[in-house]
Structure 1
Amino acid sequence: MRSLLILTAWIAQVLICFYYVRLLPNASVRCIWVLAPCVILTYLTTYDLPQRSMSSMLLGTYCWFASIRLIHWIVMSPNHYNTLVPYVRRLLWMFLPVVSCTEDYRKQWPIHNDFLMSALKITINHWLYRWLLSCSGSDSYPRLLMFFTFAVTYTFFSDFVSGIIRLVTGDKYRHTTTINFPFLAHSLRDFWGRRYNQLVSSVFRESIFQPVRQCLSSATLASLIVFLVSGLLHVHLAWLAVHDLQVALAAMLFFVIHGVACVIEAHLPFRLPVLVSWLYTQIFLLLTASLQIGVFVKAGSDFFPDNAPLFFDQKWIPKLPVPNFCPK
């Protein structure tokens, strides 16, 4: 009953914002009318969710996405949508992020690649999960690398869904690319902008970076604000995960460091050789990873048993042998 009431309140907030708040002439007033209910609803949605649960963090992320979208469309760009249907459709896009499938994409990535990638990812993902499950908690660099690989291969289902969408629509549409080979990132900007978590990147680019850059006429400030908001989001997610202020602040520090590093990258008067740049990027990511994901790796048996990947118990999925040692 409580969940239904909260969902109804979110729907009411979306409609009130469109039909009433959007039409208010004062941007500050619009901001209050959007932000205050969104903060309250996000709190009510997430305050008693289970700790160390990926589903809890996912729900918290959706609350932030909805709030960010509403701030963009109602406060910063009230004329962005003048009719209800595209407004609601775009808001719901985060639940099924479908995009057009271009001719270039079809040539570079045939439909069967989606299914092959899904099969490869699910095999590796389940293998790493069983390996992590057998190990005690540790935030060593090898263990961080294992967890990150587990996280990026967790997107196997979106690859499968993308293949299905392409088959059903005659290759006209696809699921947006969630993870785009992050281990190939040759710079931090390449990692955050093109490689990692493209759903979040799309929302932040459209609803934070672009409107802020237009308002402030500064790509640098817009980039820093994106990382600041991302840091605040992950502070909340870290709090949902463990209710530990130190862990939450570490997550904020992670995004501040990466935001500053990306700005420095953008203003370097020279370019590093590709191989050197790739090596620097991967090392930088690994050295700072513990600030963001260390809490989950250290939790070990307190985290992994309750966060089994999809289809983990299915016997038809190949099971690679788990090594009988744990990286220190």
Structure 2
Amino acid sequence: MKMPWVSGAVYGVVLLAGLYYVFAGLGEPHPLRVFGFVAAIAVLFVLDAVERSHAVWFLVARLVLFSVVVALDESSLSRVLFVLVPFAAYLTFGRTAGLVLGGLCVSLLVVSFTVWVPGWYRDANYVSDVLMFSLGLILAVAMADVAVRERRAAAKIAELSAAAERSRLARDIHDSLGHHLTAISIQLEKASAFTSRDPSVAARALADARESVAHALEDVRTSVSTLRTGQNLTAALASLDVAVEVDGDEPDLDRATVTALYRAAQEAITNARRHGQAETVSVVVTFGLADIRLVVSDNGRGFRLGESHNGFGLLGLKERAALVGGSVTVDSAPGSGTRVAVTVPRS
């Protein structure tokens, strides 16, 4: 797995520090040694750019190159490269690998000082090197942990977004096409029933069915254009072919609010015609100071509240309203029609 920009930043700092040490006269310059130092860091940059898979081999290659850079660097400042070892291991293999390799790097530094610098633990400079190196390792592991958590959170968000999009598409298909298919079904049944008894009525029913098909196509265009770009609720409701009363001036509404209210009206109208067998349906939308209230009323046969008549339609309607912080109330009784009210915050 490729490491984030952190590795490139560390390579750049090590390169500048090593070259500064040489050209500032802090050490004795050796052209071949300097060339090898620069070339090894260049290979590290290339390694980060081309890495695609086989993470173990890339990690081993980095370790080898880190060792080469440290051996060629007269300033010994390039030891900081080994901070990237637990960082890369944490990102690639997990927390345990990162912590183990971090502890191993500190141990190797202490062992190297013990072998080549007897009594190093009494020298403040070497003790400071160990402490700063350990601090760098801690910060590197912490950054890797944040990166892993962010990656997991992004994956979870993507998963939830996909689920929400699937639910949205299901609601759109049900609310939009379901509304028109219900009307078409009723008109075709009417045509079938009156074919022999009254051909003129049957012909009119077929004409109405064709008109409903045209409305279905228009509704698809409305969903794509009006709701997505115009965000105009009043214009969207006018396409529902029912009496619409508007109280107040429509404010600038976001797409989610317009979609929720439009689909709520569409679903309530579909239920009134499909289940309530309503002859008249009306829509009243009130733009208040604090909220927006949409009420769909019909003169259908109604139903007893609490009975399982709501179906998927009203469930989807409530889900839509909840997505924009709204609520839904249903008032109905047998023989008294149905009244569906949707209230959403104006903001």
Which of 1 and 2 has greater Rg? 2
More strand by share: 2
TM bracket, shorter-chain basis: under 0.3
Specify which structure has the bigger relative contact order, considering alpha-carbon pairs within 8 angstroms and separated by 6 or more residues.
1
**TM-score, scaled to structure 1:** 0.24
**TM-score, scaled to structure 2:** 0.23
